[in-house]
Amino acid sequence: MIAQKDFWNNPDATTSVLKERTVLTHAISNWEKLNQDIEENEILLGLAIEESDSDTLKDVEKNIDNIEDRIKELSISLMLDGEDDDKNAIVSINAGAGGTDSQDWAEMLFRMYSRWCDRKGYKINVIDFQPGDEAGIKGVTFTANGENAYGYLKVESGVHRLVRISPFNANGKRQTSFASVFVYPELDKTIQVEVADKDIRIDVFRASGAGGQHVNKTSSAVRITHIPTGVVVQCQQESSQHRNREIAMNVLKARLYQYEKQKQDSKLQEMHDSKDDIAWGSQIRSYVMHPYQMVKDHRIDFETGNIRNVLDGGIDSFIEAVLLSDNNKNRVSLS
């Protein structure tokens, strides 16, 4: 396809094809390197056994553990073959029931996903940030840019519940807090979403900040409301109103695209219809810090006691478990 004379005449299509080629080339390279490492360690294992070399046996054992992790990672990445899995992700986190504690919890989730992105080598770009009244954040929207970002993060959509001793309660009482996470694929230029001017309302306002020199003196922040669906997006991170409007419109189109896709799936639609209920009975995952420590995903009954690692971005085991569970369900439904 790339060798065709007219291939470079369409920049949007060219970008899509080159991105797909890069992903496939990366997967093939990983597969070939795994095969090479497996063969080398088989030879090394045979020599170690023949010579009763315990140190080499230990090295081979470590290498095998590393190979197993790489095989698992490659298997997961190859499984992400959905229509939008290879796209960047737009992530929106909003505090729910629980007041200041929930706003603090929303900020903890933002930190968790930021650290996970750092581990994956993903780049984060904050689109909108709304600080809390006393602590934490009311909400944040950001993009996670990297290979299969949406494919991985899509399983994080839902309500997340935290149970802990409240640092904001003078009596030291246990508090339950909620925050919602919703993930959308960032649209590339090959996907066109038409938004009529009559269907949107655009408001401009001064961007919020920490005060002092960071306070925006002009009305550069932009809020766009899609009247037919009630979807609201806003951007205030750029100093240019024009740039904020452009970014907000891109996010709106991504959400409308996902909204239409969800309407075709009854399970996702049910989640979308209940997205405003960020409270009891709607959580997909619980993070318990008191009276014991545990993180549990209620969709698959998967849990761990190492909550500190999870909050530091160690969520791969949860993401992989949900993806594998969904993949097995799809296989059953097709058989």
Summarize pLDDT for 42-55 with one digit per residue, the tens. Answer: 999 999 999 999 99
Q: Which residues contact 139 (CB under 8 A, 6 or more apart)?
A: 92, 93, 94, 95, 106, 128, 129, 130
Q: Are the C-beta atoms of 224 and 246 separated by less than 8 Å?
A: no
- Domain membership of residue 2 (yes or no) is no
State the Cα–Cα distance between residues 45 and 247, nearest whole angstrom: 55
- Domain membership of residue 202 (yes or no) is yes
User: How many angstroms separate the Cα of 140 from the Cα of each of 130, 214, 270, 296?
Assistant: 6, 18, 23, 24
- Domain membership of residue 84 (yes or no) is no
Last residue of a domain, one of 262, 284, 306: 262
Same domain, 272 and 166: yes
pLDDT surpasses 80 at 331: no
- Domain membership of residue 238 (yes or no) is yes
Q: Are the C-beta atoms of 212 and 224 separated by less than 8 Å?
A: no
State the Cα–Cα distance between residues 92 and 110, nearest whole angstrom: 9
- Name the domain count of the chain: 3
User: In which order are the strands placed within the sheet that holds 283-288?
Assistant: 123-131, 137-145, 89-95, 174-185, 158-165, 283-288, 294-297, 302-304
Last residue of a domain, one of 23, 53, 79: 79
Q: Are the C-beta atoms of 105 and 178 separated by less than 8 Å?
A: yes
- Mean pLDDT to the nearest integer, 280-307: 92
Same domain, 99 and 72: no
SS3 225: strand
Last residue of a domain, one of 239, 262, 285: 262
Question: What is the per-residue pLDDT for 79?
Answer: 84
Q: Which residue has the higher pLDDT, 279 or 147?
A: 147
- Domain membership of residue 156 (yes or no) is yes
HSE value, Cβ hemisphere, 13 Å, CA-based, for 52:
0
Q: Which domain holds residue 46?
A: 7-79
Same domain, 171 and 297: yes
pTM above 0.85, yes or no: no
- Domain membership of residue 327 (yes or no) is yes
Question: What is the per-residue pLDDT for 278?
Answer: 58
Same domain, 70 and 108: no
- Domain membership of residue 16 (yes or no) is yes
